[in-house]
């Protein structure tokens, strides 16, 4: 059975192993990342506590115009050409905590930027503090990992630091129902897709389900205790921050074969919204021109959210705030 390569972040060989994995597969395990088992147990415990709430309590925190908050079962359709209904999962988006817009400041100029929505302490004690600590912890892991990738690609170790400084990342909690998937009939835990941004660091429970598309085949990616499952996003493969299609943003999906609930927690390590993503001069030439036009990271992300979330419109002008 195929398994992704393992990147040991403490190994001196990490940059070389990481760059090779990014070019060949776009998926890999990350070990010795510095996040303790106690931290992981607590964030999963709190995630399960939230999803065990009644639907009314969860819907009171439904994702707002900035896509922060709860997304109900079947709301997201990642592969509309193949799916007959939305993904059999519910989720919760958390971004960097930002203040409410000040008087006179146009809210429309701040897409995905605003205060998070938090369940009350009475409903889920300690939930907010746990998620904020985890967000900060994972930002640090992403900075380290992107530094190793920079070295592996022959770039300055700090290449990604300035364009990820605003912490425009997304932490997402996911709960997949026990409904068995049937890809032939368009029923999936998560439809086939590639991730939109820079890097994804996925923590998952022991229940399998993740699959990647390699060489025309769907291959299982088994959970690995203590490791993150990491993959590249479109910014590194389609729009090229670094190389002209040398790296892979691999298509993947979630298929429930066992009829068991599944919990996972992806952390999307993202570029600052105003970052212009363009092939570097050293990676293209007259003989090998850039394959994609320049694009800002923010506009690309907003367009993708609008395509996959039925209730999200990155261009909406007037929206009632969620309570």
Alpha-helical runs (H) found in 73-167? 127-152
Q: Regarding beta strands 27-31 and 6-8, do their DSSP bridges make them parallel or antiparallel, or are they unpaired?
A: parallel
Distant-in-sequence, close-in-space partners of 218: CB < 8 Å, separation ≥ 6: 211, 212, 253, 255
Per-residue pLDDT of the chain (323 residues; tens, 9 = 90+): 789 999 999 999 999 999 999 989 999 999 999 999 999 999 999 999 999 999 999 999 999 888 899 999 999 999 999 999 999 999 999 999 876 665 445 444 456 677 899 999 999 999 999 999 999 999 999 999 999 999 998 888 998 888 898 888 999 999 999 999 999 999 999 999 988 888 999 999 999 999 999 999 999 999 999 999 999 988 776 544 444 447 788 999 999 999 999 999 999 999 888 888 877 666 677 777 777 777 788 777 777 667 765 554 544 322 322 22
| Tokens standing for residue 17 | 């192993």
According to the model, what pLDDT value does residue 242 have? 47
Domain 6-308 -> CATH class: mainly beta
Q: Is the pTM of this model over 0.85?
A: yes
Residue 320: per-residue pLDDT = 29
CA-to-CA separations, 170 to 116, 137, 239, in angstroms, rounded: 11, 13, 20
Beta-bridge mates of residue 204: 264
Residue 141 CB partners (closer than 8 Å, separation 6+): 30, 33, 34, 35, 201, 228, 267
Beta-carbon contacts of residue 33 (< 8 Å; ≥ 6 apart): 9, 141, 144, 145, 227, 228
Question: What are the domain boundaries of the chain?
Answer: 6-308
The whole-number pLDDT of residue 272 equals 87
The pLDDT assigned to 239 comes to: 44
């Amino acid at each position: 059975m195929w398994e992704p390569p393992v990147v040991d972040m403490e190994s001196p060989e990490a940059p070389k192993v990481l760059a090779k994995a990014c070019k060949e597969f776009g998926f890999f395990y990350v070990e010795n990342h510095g996040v303790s088992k106690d931290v992981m147990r607590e964030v999963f415990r709190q995630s399960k506590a939230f999803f065990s709430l009644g639907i009314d309590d969860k819907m009171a925190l439904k994702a707002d115009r900035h896509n922060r908050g709860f997304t109900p079962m079947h709301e997201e359709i990642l592969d509309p050409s193949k799916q007959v209904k939305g993904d059999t999962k519910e989720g919760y988006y958390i971004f960097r905590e930002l203040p409410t817009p000040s008087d006179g400041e146009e809210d429309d100029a701040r897409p995905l930027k605003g205060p998070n929505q938090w369940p009350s302490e009475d409903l889920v004690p300690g939930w907010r503090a746990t998620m904020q600590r985890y967000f900060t912890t994972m930002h640090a892991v992403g900075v380290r990992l992107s530094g190793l990738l920079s070295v592996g690609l022959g770039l300055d170790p700090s290449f990604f630091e300035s364009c990820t400084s605003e912490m425009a990342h997304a932490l997402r909690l996911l709960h997949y129902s026990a409904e068995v998937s049937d890809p032939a009939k368009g029923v999936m835990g998560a439809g086939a897709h590639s991730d939109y941004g820079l890097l994804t660091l996925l923590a998952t429970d022991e229940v399998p389900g993740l699959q990647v598309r390699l060489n025309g085949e769907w291959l299982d990616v088994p959970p690995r205790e203590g490791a993150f499952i990491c993959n590249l996003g479109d910014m590194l493969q389609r729009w090229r921050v670094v190389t002209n299609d040398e790296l892979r943003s691999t298509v993947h999906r979630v298929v429930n074969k066992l009829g068991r609930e599944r919990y996972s927690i992806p952390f999307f390590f993202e570029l600052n919204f105003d970052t212009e993503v363009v092939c570097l001069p050293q990676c293209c030439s007259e003989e090998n021109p850039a394959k994609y036009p320049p694009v800002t990271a923010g506009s690309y992300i907003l367009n993708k959210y609008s395509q996959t979330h039925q209730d999200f419109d990155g261009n909406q002008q007037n929206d009632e705030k969620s309570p």
